[in-house]
Amino acid sequence: MPLGERSPGDKGESRYCGVESEFDGDVPRLLSFNISCGGFDFVVSPLMNPTYRPSLFEKEGNESSVLPFAGSDLILNPSQWSSHVVGKISSWIDLDSEDEILRLDSETTLKQEIAWASHLSLQACLLPTPRQASCANYARCINQILQGLTNMQLWLRIPLFKAEDDSMGTSTDDMTDSWELWNSFRLLCEHRSQLSIALDVSSTLPSANSLVRWFGEPVKAAILNTECFLTNARGYPCLSKRHQKLITGFFNHSVQIVISGKPLHKVLKGSADPATMDNGDNVGCVQNHSLRPYLEYVGYLYQRLDPLPEQERFELGYRDFLQSPLQPLMDNLEAQTYETFEKDTVKYTQYQRAISQALIDRVPDEKASVITTVLMVVGAGRGPLVRASLQAAEETGRKLKVYAVEKNPNAVVTLHSLVKLEGWENSVTIVSCDMRHWVAPQKADILVSELLGSFGDNELSPECLDGAQRFLKQDGLSIPSSYTSFIQPVTTSKLYNDVKSHKDLVHFETAYVVKLHSVARLAPTQPVFTFTHPEDSPQRNNQRYKKLQFEIPSDMGSALVHGFAGYFDATLYKDIHLGIEPSVATPNMFSWFPIFFPLRTPVCVHPGSPLEVHFWRCVGSMKVWYEWCVTSPSPSAVHNSNGRSYWVGL
């Protein structure tokens, strides 16, 4: 029974748990024992008899006969092969061996087994760990095979370890960071999207920072050896707190668990009562399968997962899905887009708080009945900020005259209906015009806008508010009063491969809005561009340039930077802010996802070697665009030169 049927919520593929087995020519019996009796969802099993070697096989005459390495595909139906079997490539193969016969045997066997697995319609095959750090021939053969695969994934078995000394050795036993082995292999395989990782988890885990890297890599399975398990007071297997945290992280990233190894705990008769379990206890055991207690414990950890909050459930479909940012001046938003943003009550609550505080500061209590504050909502949309402004006036007992300025004629129709429906005719004036061109009949005390994008200024808030501030009083104020963009380097194989799949330059030079999930954040964020409103400087210029240096934590080890995650934080008024910068993000707000700036060629960064990044905000007569590049540890091309691939139209 899948783990996901024992707990509310769906964590994707991680609701399935497999078991690693030895070769068994009787596959139906193997499945019956491990799935029916053991309760596992699939088996990771060799497809070929381990005694088979091509060089020992004698051909009859000059013709090849049927190879004796596997039984019939008819022993299971196609759906059973696909759902319940992950092929395990023979562990003896060594494609980088100095022994030519072994190397040739290995290459022949690898291709035969993967061809057979593909014939069986298996979803995945487990590749053995490279035997040497120098694994060029192994990677070459896999790269050849991947070019012909369509639906099957190849999981490269990688041991999870990192020692204090990061120097590379000459064999996997001498290596101090298994991520280096993986990175070398995937670079040789040209970042193929069908090449994934099966992490061999050991009883000793590397540092937390080192583990973070793997959540941005294509980890499909975590092989949990029985040696990882401790024994609790009742004799059941359990895991250390660090292992529990790691496994929980895998669940949340759709990583499947595979139990491997010999049983080190006795199978107790009877069934434990979950109600009597302490933290770390097993949920029960059965007599039939010696590895069942380990499965039960993994199931117990799955059951303990907190249900996804409503916001996370809403955002599930957007995880790691690349979207082009809005073009707010060139395009008019559709009703569905307005409706989505209007549901973000947290955002408008923050705005209402800011407007309330501003009204109180500008109009003392004793003059509240005689002074009317002029407030202009520029970019009013369908009216949520108009509503927030009027509610703030009612809350504070201040008199308010509101101008709702909106360029989208379709939204203006809705605004007129809203004003009539709510009875706002005496307090709200609707203006159908681009704020940059409107001739206001009077000056405003407060200018309110929600023109911010995921990167703060990427939806042209600076240009729009510069055009609107001419009808703001000398002592008038803007809400928001300022906003700052932030970036951080990230590992995200998923997004990189999605961009790469388009096979063109344009997509690598486009900034995307994306709900980041399968991502490793490699360093804390740093501020990039800041804009303040109103801007009174006669030399004001919205072009910007920033050079940044990021330091990868020394205990993380090396990492591959696929691009940069971008965020913003905005000060609405005084200490009232909203934003998505991770360290101060406004809770439960969903109007903005982060932005992602990809790199055409990922950059490998080693501890102690700073990552130097350059970002430009460029402004032309008809468009605004960003350019970005890396200059250290190795230089990249300047991305999006002259806005050739991505820009925002003025």
Q: Is 546:167 a contact under the CB 8 Å cutoff?
A: no
Q: Say if residues 382 and 421 touch (Cβ distance below 8 Å).
A: no
* 60 bridge partner residues: 63
Closest CA to 627 of 591, 600, 606: 600
Helix (H, G, I), strand (E, B) or coil at 85: strand
**Residues facing residue 488 across a β-bridge:** 565
Residues 6+ apart with CB under 8 A from 153: 123, 124, 125, 194, 195, 196, 220
Strand duo 85-88 + 42-46: pairing: parallel
Q: Residue 339 is inside which H or E element, if any?
A: helix 335-342
Taking CA atoms, 90 is separated from 48, 188, 413, 419, 592, in Å, by: 7, 22, 68, 72, 48
Cβ atoms of 430 and 412 within 8 Å: the answer is yes
- What are the distances in angstroms from CA 589 to CA 40, 44, 311, 312, 492? 39, 42, 8, 11, 24
User: Given the structure tokens 């008809």, which residue do they identify?
Assistant: 622
Cα distances (Å, whole numbers) of residue 269 to 288, 292, 353:
10, 12, 61
Radius of gyration of the chain (CA): 30
Q: For the beta carbon of residue 442, count every other beta carbon within 10 angstroms.
A: 11
> What is the b/e burial string over 105-139, where b = at least 16 CB atoms within 10 angstroms of the residue's CB?
bbbbbbebbbebbbebebbbbbbbbbbbbebebbb
Helix (H) or strand (E) holding 384: helix 384-396
The catalytic site residues sit at 450, 459
